[in-house]
Amino acid sequence: MEDGRRVLSDVVSTQVDIHRRWGGVVPELASRNHVVQVMPVLHEALTRAGKRLDDVDLIAVTSGPGLIGALLVGVQVAKSLSLATGKPFVGANHLEGHLLAIRLLEDAPEPPFLGLVVSGGHTSFYEVRDYGHYKLVGSTRDDAAGEAFDKTARILGLPYPGGLPIDQLAQKGNPEAIRFPRALPGADNFDVSFSGLKTAVLHHVKKHGLPEGQGLADLCASFQEAVADALSKKFVGAARRLGLERLVVCGGVAANSRLRSLCLERARERGLKLFLPPVRLCTDNGAMIAVAGYEAWRRGLRGDFSLSADPAWRM
Ligand code: KG4
Ligand code: ZN
């Protein structure tokens, strides 16, 4: 990335095919494959950008939160590159990366805004008073929204990760076919809950059998509607209560077509402005980590050789 905003190349190496047969990410396989892929990806990124390692001013690496083994591979590579080249490095927060992907838009929002980070591991509302100042104001009480998509896909016999296949099937289905529960724990908080929804899908399948064809599309659409409805309602309501006029939705589940359209609709109804990264910047990518690393550096954060991975790093 150049000047903190312009992406010169963004190479994503996905391990989805390796983990799919296990129905989810196998941590040990993830870190081993990181070891295999990291240098070819680095090489490809430099080649596509038309740069050499020598041209680089700063190396940013995800140092948390996430799977410890996978994080450690990245952190060791960043340190090694730094040691070999004398270039500085900085640890970036994965969640801040999702949130700051929005900085890559032409028309990026200025704080304050309300951010929703919605991914495979997280579903959290952050009040962003300034870049670098994030206040957690609400989150899921059980499953992350992405986890709900992945677990539901598993129940339905769809491939991992389940978000995209459910989204695609839902396009052909009726979202009102089945009324699944919207768990909105109280009006006095900004929390959501998804484990009941997943259980409701399981009960439905036990009672009526595994659906096929139109029935499957209807179930996917109804499930997706329940997630998008609950999340967008709570999110837009929270922005109103906190007096924030700008909203950002990010993370892998922000790629969901129904969540995007419903958040846009509800924000517009209330005169609020919603910012959405393009789909390719919603799911995990390197560009978002470059932005987060650059911003962390500007705030004075520096990586040193004692930097370790922090699997539970809170933003
Ligand atoms: O941010 P991400 O790429 O990785 C994590 O940090 O977790 O998010 C991955 C999650 C998975 O649970 C995946 O099923 C979900 O994002 N996802 C989607 C869609 N695309 C990816 N969920 C719903 N609809 C989609 N179109
Ligand atoms: Zn992510």
Where would I find the beta strands (DSSP E) of the chain? 59-64, 89-93, 113-118, 123-130, 133-139, 246-250, 273-275
Question: Does residue 185 have a pLDDT over 80?
Answer: no
Q: Is 164 in the pocket of ligand 1 (CB under 6 A)?
A: yes
Cα of 216 vs centre of ligand 1, distance in Å, is 20
Longest dimension (CA), the chain: 63
d(CA 96, ligand 2 centre) in Å? 10
98 vs 230: CA distance, rounded Å? 21
pLDDT, tens only, 51-63: 999 999 999 999 9
Please give the pLDDT value at position 309: 97
Q: What is the pTM of this model?
A: 0.96
Cis before residue 112, ω within 30 degrees of 0? yes
CA pair distance 178, 149, nearest whole angstrom? 16
Q: How far is the CA of 251 from the centre of ligand 1 (A)?
A: 7
Please name each of the domains of the chain with its CATH number. Answer: 1-105+279-315 (3.30.420.40), 109-276 (3.30.420.40)
Per-residue pLDDT, 291: 97
Give residue 210's pLDDT. 97
pLDDT tier for residue 280 given thresholds of 50, 70 and 90: very high
pLDDT tens profile 30-50: 999 999 999 999 999 999 999
From 260, 283, 288, give the residue whose CB has the most ligand 1 atoms within 8 Å, as the site to mutate.
Answer: 283
pLDDT at 158 over 90: yes
**Cβ neighbour number for residue 131 with a 10 Å cutoff:** 18
Q: How far, in Å, CA of 152 to CA of 195, rounded?
A: 10
Q: Is 65 in the pocket of ligand 1 (CB under 6 A)?
A: no
Between 82-91, 133-142, 186-195, the lowest mean confidence (pLDDT) is in: 186-195
Report phi then psi at 59, rounded to 5: -105, 125
Q: Which tokens hold the place of 80?
A: 């090694």
CA dist 15 → 18, 20, 157, 231 (Å): 5, 9, 20, 28
- Which tokens sit at 28? 């040990």
Confidence at 211, pLDDT banded by 50, 70, 90: very high
Contact 101, 115 (CB under 8 A): no
pLDDT, residue 142, reads 96
3-class secondary structure per residue, 153-207? HHHCCCCCCCHHHHHHHHCCCCCCCCCCCCCCCCCCCCCECCHHHHHHHHHHHHH
Q: How far is the CA of 64 from the centre of ligand 2 (A)?
A: 11
Mean pLDDT over all residues of the chain? Answer: 96
